[in-house]
Amino acid sequence: MSGQRFKHVFEDFKSININVFSCATKRKCHPELTFSLAENINNIPPTSCTAKRHVKGDLVPQKESKTREVAGNVQFSASLNNPRHVSGSCHRNIIPSPENIKSIPFASRTAQRHVRGGCAPRKAAFTLAEVLITLGIIGVVAAMTLPTLIQNYQDKATVSRLKKVYSELSQAYMMVYKDNGEPTNWDMSLVEKDDDGNIIGAEGSKNMGDLFSKYLKVTKNCGLNEGCWYKGNVYSLNGKIYDSGSVEDRSDLYKIALADGTLIAFGGLSSDCSVIRGNSKQLSNVCSWVIVDINGANRPNTYGIDLFEFLVSKYGIVPYGTPDDIYFPFETACRRNSTGVTAGNGCTAWVLYKENLDYTRCNDLSWNGKHKCK
């Protein structure tokens, strides 16, 4: 629609001074025109429906236009405080004359953008239903994945702690060897018992504990007495109560607590390291044994989960449950479905070498076969 056509429609309205007007290009909306002489609206010649809608303030989308420029400007005596001018719709390209722009009252930022021809698009937002559906999906996914993530984290923490204890014991072994010679000189003899089975001597355990504690970060040394470990039941991997009772109550074990919270107990077996526990060179020359609780008095106090055992041989520290172990083999001594109380005693080597605790979730793992549940 050309500027001349607008001039013909609105020539009787003296409150409007239209010099030249042309619609903007590319699907712009016509400006909302608000007139001070509202009573003259009905006298407008019915030139076109478009003109009437323009006068009443309706917005008519410009579908097609070949005009490329806006010539001149339009002056309005109407106030921009009109509610229609501060609405949330896209503002028009209304250009006041330079001399009048400062006198136009600015009701709000929206009104300022109206005058300057800015376009304030609506901000996108989610409905309450969409938010609730999204939260529901997140909850379902979390319920499915969190248990696995937590279990993996706990397994990695167990592997890390056990490796740390293994390293500390191995280093202490080397220092004791350096200062005292071969393990046959350490006198790690088996405990002495009377005819009734009561312990009357545990010099082998004491000798071993005294030697090793010199090279460990010990915060409390209880020797053969109580005070370092915890009272209460100890459990096998299958949930049964371990028949040897609490380490704290045993007077044949030398007990210490480390700075990181790890609890260690030493027990003698043979002064000449002649005990046979397997087919390898190391397991054919066993001197003593060590039990550790990697998280101190914290539960579950279960073999294969936080309680683990090692052997001390003439050739180093050996974890329980290696492929050559015939006393506590992994395939029988590290099973949840095992009926014996030794379930869990043969898990130490698996945790160190395979770096997982999948034996707590499936019963078909083996050194020569399956190494993980999945």
Sheet with 307-313: strands ordered across: 218-223, 254-258, 263-268, 286-293, 307-313, 316-319
CA neighbor of 234 nearest in space, from 221, 220, 223, 248: 248
Quick one: pLDDT at residue 152? 85
- Chain centroid offset of residue 213 CA: 38
Quick one: pLDDT at residue 212? 97
Q: How many Å apart are CA 178 and CA 300, to the nearest integer?
A: 37
Residue 76's DSSP bridge partners are: 16
Weakly modelled stretches of the chain, pLDDT under 50: 1-2, 5-10, 12-41, 47-94, 106-111, 114-115
Task: Give percent above pLDDT 70 in the chain.
Answer: 66
Contact yes or no for 54/47 (Cβ under 8 A): no
Residue 154 DSSP SS3 = helix
Residue 17's DSSP bridge partners are: 75
- Whether the ω angle into residue 300 lies within 30 degrees of 0, i.e. cis, is yes
**373: amino acid identity, one letter:** C
For 225-257, the pLDDT digits (tens) are 999 999 888 999 999 998 777 899 999 999 999
50 token code pair: 């478009």
For 65-96, the pLDDT digits (tens) are 444 444 344 444 344 444 444 444 444 444 55
Q: Which residues contact 72 (CB under 8 A, 6 or more apart)?
A: 3, 19, 20, 21, 22
Quick one: pLDDT at residue 356? 95
Per DSSP bridges, beta strands 199-201 and 218-223 are unpaired
Quick one: pLDDT at residue 73? 42
